[in-house]
Amino acid sequence: MSSGVEPVLSVRNLTVHYGAARALGDVSLDVLPGEIVTIVGGNGAGKSTLLKTVSGVPELMKSVRGSVTVLGRRATRLSAHRIAGLGLAHVPEGRRVFPESTVAENLLLGAYRRRDRAAVAADLEAVFDRFPVLRERRRQAAGLLSGGEQQMLAIGRGLMSRPRVLLLDEPSLGLAPILVDEVFAIVEALRAEGTTILLVEQMAARALAIADRAYVLETGTVVAEGRAADLAADPQVRAAYLGAERR
Protein backbone atom coordinates (compact mmCIF):
# COMPACT_ATOMS: atom_id res chain seq x y z
CA MET A 1 0.00 0.00 0.00
CA SER A 2 1.11 3.51 -0.61
CA SER A 3 0.97 4.31 3.12
CA GLY A 4 3.87 1.92 3.70
CA VAL A 5 2.04 0.23 6.58
CA GLU A 6 1.75 -3.52 6.21
CA PRO A 7 -1.91 -4.57 6.07
CA VAL A 8 -3.22 -6.96 8.70
CA LEU A 9 -5.40 -8.47 6.00
CA SER A 10 -4.80 -8.23 2.30
CA VAL A 11 -6.99 -9.68 -0.45
CA ARG A 12 -5.86 -9.67 -4.06
CA ASN A 13 -7.90 -10.48 -7.16
CA LEU A 14 -10.20 -12.84 -5.32
CA THR A 15 -12.64 -14.73 -7.51
CA VAL A 16 -15.02 -17.29 -6.00
CA HIS A 17 -17.76 -19.46 -7.49
CA TYR A 18 -20.63 -21.50 -6.11
CA GLY A 19 -20.75 -24.15 -8.82
CA ALA A 20 -21.04 -22.21 -12.05
CA ALA A 21 -22.29 -19.03 -10.37
CA ARG A 22 -19.67 -16.37 -9.71
CA ALA A 23 -20.07 -14.82 -6.24
CA LEU A 24 -16.88 -12.71 -6.21
CA GLY A 25 -14.95 -11.37 -9.18
CA ASP A 26 -11.45 -9.96 -8.87
CA VAL A 27 -11.93 -8.41 -5.42
CA SER A 28 -8.94 -6.68 -3.83
CA LEU A 29 -8.90 -4.96 -0.46
CA ASP A 30 -6.63 -4.13 2.44
CA VAL A 31 -7.31 -3.73 6.14
CA LEU A 32 -4.61 -1.79 7.97
CA PRO A 33 -3.69 -2.18 11.65
CA GLY A 34 -6.26 -0.60 13.94
CA GLU A 35 -8.78 0.14 11.23
CA ILE A 36 -12.46 -0.60 10.99
CA VAL A 37 -13.13 -1.36 7.35
CA THR A 38 -16.70 -1.97 6.27
CA ILE A 39 -18.12 -3.69 3.21
CA VAL A 40 -21.26 -2.04 1.87
CA GLY A 41 -23.55 -3.80 -0.61
CA GLY A 42 -27.05 -5.05 -1.22
CA ASN A 43 -28.42 -8.54 -0.71
CA GLY A 44 -26.40 -11.11 -2.59
CA ALA A 45 -23.55 -8.71 -3.39
CA GLY A 46 -21.03 -11.20 -2.02
CA LYS A 47 -20.26 -9.71 1.39
CA SER A 48 -20.67 -12.93 3.37
CA THR A 49 -18.85 -14.90 0.69
CA LEU A 50 -15.90 -12.54 1.03
CA LEU A 51 -15.68 -13.06 4.79
CA LYS A 52 -16.15 -16.81 4.43
CA THR A 53 -13.43 -17.05 1.81
CA VAL A 54 -11.01 -15.03 3.92
CA SER A 55 -11.63 -17.22 6.97
CA GLY A 56 -11.38 -20.51 5.07
CA VAL A 57 -14.92 -21.89 4.98
CA PRO A 58 -14.33 -25.26 3.30
CA GLU A 59 -17.23 -25.36 0.82
CA LEU A 60 -15.69 -22.50 -1.16
CA MET A 61 -12.05 -23.45 -1.12
CA LYS A 62 -11.83 -25.37 -4.39
CA SER A 63 -13.16 -22.46 -6.40
CA VAL A 64 -10.96 -19.74 -4.90
CA ARG A 65 -8.65 -17.81 -7.23
CA GLY A 66 -6.49 -14.93 -6.08
CA SER A 67 -4.79 -14.49 -2.72
CA VAL A 68 -5.50 -13.77 0.92
CA THR A 69 -2.69 -12.66 3.24
CA VAL A 70 -3.06 -12.38 7.01
CA LEU A 71 -0.29 -10.54 8.85
CA GLY A 72 2.07 -11.15 5.98
CA ARG A 73 1.40 -14.89 5.84
CA ARG A 74 -0.30 -16.45 2.87
CA ALA A 75 -3.73 -17.73 3.92
CA THR A 76 -5.22 -18.66 0.57
CA ARG A 77 -6.94 -22.05 0.73
CA LEU A 78 -5.55 -22.86 4.17
CA SER A 79 -7.99 -24.66 6.45
CA ALA A 80 -10.11 -22.48 8.71
CA HIS A 81 -8.22 -23.52 11.84
CA ARG A 82 -4.84 -22.71 10.27
CA ILE A 83 -6.16 -19.27 9.28
CA ALA A 84 -7.47 -18.79 12.82
CA GLY A 85 -3.96 -19.65 13.97
CA LEU A 86 -2.61 -16.73 11.94
CA GLY A 87 -4.66 -14.39 14.14
CA LEU A 88 -8.03 -14.09 12.43
CA ALA A 89 -11.45 -14.69 14.00
CA HIS A 90 -14.76 -14.76 12.13
CA VAL A 91 -18.07 -14.04 13.85
CA PRO A 92 -20.50 -15.40 11.26
CA GLU A 93 -23.89 -14.09 10.31
CA GLY A 94 -26.56 -15.64 12.49
CA ARG A 95 -24.19 -16.08 15.47
CA ARG A 96 -23.88 -19.92 15.07
CA VAL A 97 -23.53 -20.64 18.76
CA PHE A 98 -23.79 -24.25 19.92
CA PRO A 99 -27.26 -24.21 21.47
CA GLU A 100 -26.87 -27.29 23.69
CA SER A 101 -23.53 -26.18 25.12
CA THR A 102 -23.30 -23.72 27.97
CA VAL A 103 -22.29 -20.11 27.52
CA ALA A 104 -18.90 -20.81 29.12
CA GLU A 105 -18.34 -23.86 26.91
CA ASN A 106 -19.14 -21.83 23.80
CA LEU A 107 -16.64 -19.19 24.85
CA LEU A 108 -13.93 -21.73 25.58
CA LEU A 109 -14.42 -23.22 22.11
CA GLY A 110 -13.09 -19.92 20.81
CA ALA A 111 -9.84 -20.67 22.63
CA TYR A 112 -9.54 -24.31 21.61
CA ARG A 113 -6.17 -23.77 19.93
CA ARG A 114 -4.63 -22.12 22.94
CA ARG A 115 -2.55 -23.96 25.54
CA ASP A 116 -1.98 -21.01 27.89
CA ARG A 117 -4.64 -22.02 30.38
CA ALA A 118 -4.10 -19.23 32.88
CA ALA A 119 -4.32 -16.61 30.14
CA VAL A 120 -7.43 -18.29 28.71
CA ALA A 121 -9.06 -18.12 32.14
CA ALA A 122 -8.13 -14.45 32.38
CA ASP A 123 -9.54 -13.79 28.91
CA LEU A 124 -12.76 -15.57 29.87
CA GLU A 125 -13.06 -13.18 32.81
CA ALA A 126 -12.36 -10.26 30.48
CA VAL A 127 -15.20 -11.38 28.19
CA PHE A 128 -17.47 -11.65 31.24
CA ASP A 129 -16.43 -8.14 32.29
CA ARG A 130 -17.24 -6.86 28.81
CA PHE A 131 -20.55 -8.74 28.65
CA PRO A 132 -21.81 -9.11 32.26
CA VAL A 133 -24.97 -10.89 31.11
CA LEU A 134 -22.80 -13.74 29.87
CA ARG A 135 -21.27 -14.13 33.33
CA GLU A 136 -24.75 -14.35 34.82
CA ARG A 137 -25.69 -17.00 32.29
CA ARG A 138 -22.39 -18.82 32.02
CA ARG A 139 -23.89 -22.19 33.03
CA GLN A 140 -27.01 -21.88 30.86
CA ALA A 141 -27.42 -23.53 27.47
CA ALA A 142 -26.57 -20.96 24.78
CA GLY A 143 -29.76 -21.81 22.92
CA LEU A 144 -31.75 -20.25 25.76
CA LEU A 145 -30.16 -16.83 25.29
CA SER A 146 -31.95 -13.99 23.49
CA GLY A 147 -30.74 -12.92 20.04
CA GLY A 148 -28.77 -10.03 21.50
CA GLU A 149 -27.15 -12.21 24.11
CA GLN A 150 -26.23 -14.78 21.47
CA GLN A 151 -24.58 -12.00 19.45
CA MET A 152 -22.54 -10.98 22.50
CA LEU A 153 -21.63 -14.64 22.94
CA ALA A 154 -20.57 -14.98 19.32
CA ILE A 155 -18.38 -11.88 19.57
CA GLY A 156 -17.00 -13.05 22.92
CA ARG A 157 -16.15 -16.43 21.41
CA GLY A 158 -14.29 -14.67 18.62
CA LEU A 159 -12.31 -12.64 21.14
CA MET A 160 -11.26 -15.76 23.03
CA SER A 161 -8.74 -16.55 20.31
CA ARG A 162 -7.09 -13.15 20.91
CA PRO A 163 -7.47 -12.22 17.24
CA ARG A 164 -5.44 -9.55 15.52
CA VAL A 165 -8.24 -9.12 13.02
CA LEU A 166 -11.91 -9.76 13.65
CA LEU A 167 -14.42 -10.38 10.84
CA LEU A 168 -17.95 -9.45 11.86
CA ASP A 169 -20.83 -10.49 9.59
CA GLU A 170 -24.07 -8.58 10.22
CA PRO A 171 -23.66 -8.27 13.99
CA SER A 172 -26.79 -6.11 14.30
CA LEU A 173 -29.04 -8.46 12.33
CA GLY A 174 -32.41 -8.99 13.97
CA LEU A 175 -31.60 -7.02 17.10
CA ALA A 176 -33.78 -4.44 18.84
CA PRO A 177 -32.56 -0.83 18.36
CA ILE A 178 -31.07 -0.55 21.84
CA LEU A 179 -29.04 -3.69 21.24
CA VAL A 180 -27.95 -2.41 17.85
CA ASP A 181 -26.54 0.63 19.65
CA GLU A 182 -24.77 -1.68 22.05
CA VAL A 183 -23.25 -3.76 19.25
CA PHE A 184 -21.91 -0.69 17.47
CA ALA A 185 -20.49 0.61 20.76
CA ILE A 186 -18.76 -2.74 21.28
CA VAL A 187 -17.23 -2.64 17.80
CA GLU A 188 -15.87 0.84 18.45
CA ALA A 189 -14.54 -0.20 21.85
CA LEU A 190 -12.74 -3.16 20.32
CA ARG A 191 -11.09 -0.94 17.77
CA ALA A 192 -10.07 1.50 20.52
CA GLU A 193 -8.38 -1.42 22.25
CA GLY A 194 -6.39 -2.21 19.12
CA THR A 195 -8.41 -4.91 17.38
CA THR A 196 -8.56 -4.52 13.63
CA ILE A 197 -12.06 -5.11 12.25
CA LEU A 198 -13.60 -6.01 8.90
CA LEU A 199 -17.32 -5.34 9.27
CA VAL A 200 -20.23 -6.40 7.07
CA GLU A 201 -23.47 -4.62 7.97
CA GLN A 202 -26.88 -4.06 6.44
CA MET A 203 -27.02 -0.84 8.43
CA ALA A 204 -24.63 0.83 6.05
CA ALA A 205 -24.99 4.37 7.40
CA ARG A 206 -24.12 3.27 10.88
CA ALA A 207 -21.28 1.11 9.69
CA LEU A 208 -19.84 3.98 7.65
CA ALA A 209 -20.18 6.27 10.67
CA ILE A 210 -17.74 4.18 12.72
CA ALA A 211 -15.53 2.87 9.91
CA ASP A 212 -12.27 4.37 8.71
CA ARG A 213 -12.57 3.07 5.16
CA ALA A 214 -15.11 1.17 3.11
CA TYR A 215 -15.52 -0.87 -0.04
CA VAL A 216 -18.77 -1.03 -2.01
CA LEU A 217 -19.55 -4.44 -3.52
CA GLU A 218 -22.03 -4.99 -6.33
CA THR A 219 -22.65 -8.44 -7.78
CA GLY A 220 -19.33 -9.62 -6.44
CA THR A 221 -17.19 -6.73 -7.67
CA VAL A 222 -15.74 -3.70 -5.87
CA VAL A 223 -17.34 -0.67 -7.51
CA ALA A 224 -16.14 2.00 -5.08
CA GLU A 225 -13.70 2.34 -2.22
CA GLY A 226 -12.37 5.11 -0.06
CA ARG A 227 -12.66 6.88 3.25
CA ALA A 228 -15.89 5.92 4.96
CA ALA A 229 -16.86 9.57 5.46
CA ASP A 230 -16.39 10.29 1.76
CA LEU A 231 -18.48 7.29 0.71
CA ALA A 232 -21.20 8.23 3.21
CA ALA A 233 -21.37 11.64 1.52
CA ASP A 234 -21.28 10.26 -2.03
CA PRO A 235 -24.66 10.83 -3.72
CA GLN A 236 -24.61 7.49 -5.54
CA VAL A 237 -23.79 5.55 -2.39
CA ARG A 238 -26.41 7.48 -0.49
CA ALA A 239 -29.08 6.78 -3.07
CA ALA A 240 -28.22 3.10 -3.41
CA TYR A 241 -27.46 2.10 0.18
CA LEU A 242 -28.31 4.78 2.71
CA GLY A 243 -31.72 6.00 1.60
CA ALA A 244 -34.08 3.81 3.58
CA GLU A 245 -32.03 3.48 6.70
CA ARG A 246 -33.11 5.42 9.75
CA ARG A 247 -30.69 6.93 12.26
| Segment near ligand ATP (CB under 6 A); pick from 45-53, 98-106, 125-133, 175-183 | 45-53
**48: Cα separation from own chain's centroid:** 9
- Return the number of other C-beta atoms located less than 10 Å from residue 35's C-beta: 21
Q: How far is the CB of 224 from ligand ATP (least distance, A)?
A: 15
Contact by Cβ (8 Å): 95, 39: no
Q: Does 55 contact ligand ATP by CB under 6 A? A: no
Tell me the number of residues near ligand ATP by CB under 6 A: 11
Angle (CA) 162-229-26 rounded to 5° is 70
Q: Does 120 contact ligand ATP by CB under 6 A? A: no
Whichever of 111 and 207 has its CB closer to ligand ATP, that residue is: 207
Cα separations in angstroms, 34 against 37, 188, 204: 10, 11, 20
Q: Does 2 contact ligand ATP by CB under 6 A? A: no
Cα separations in angstroms, 129 against 114, 133, 156, 203, 226: 21, 9, 11, 27, 35
| Segment near ligand ATP (CB under 6 A); pick from 38-46, 132-140, 157-165, 208-216 | 38-46
State the number of CA atoms in the 13 A half-sphere of 109 facing the CB.
Answer: 16
Q: How far is the CB of 57 from ligand ATP (least distance, A)?
A: 10
Residue from 1, 20, 21, 244 touching ligand ATP (CB under 6 A): that is: 21
Q: Does 48 contact ligand ATP by CB under 6 A? A: yes
User: Where does this chain bind ligand ATP (CB under 6 A)?
Assistant: 18, 21, 23, 41, 43-49
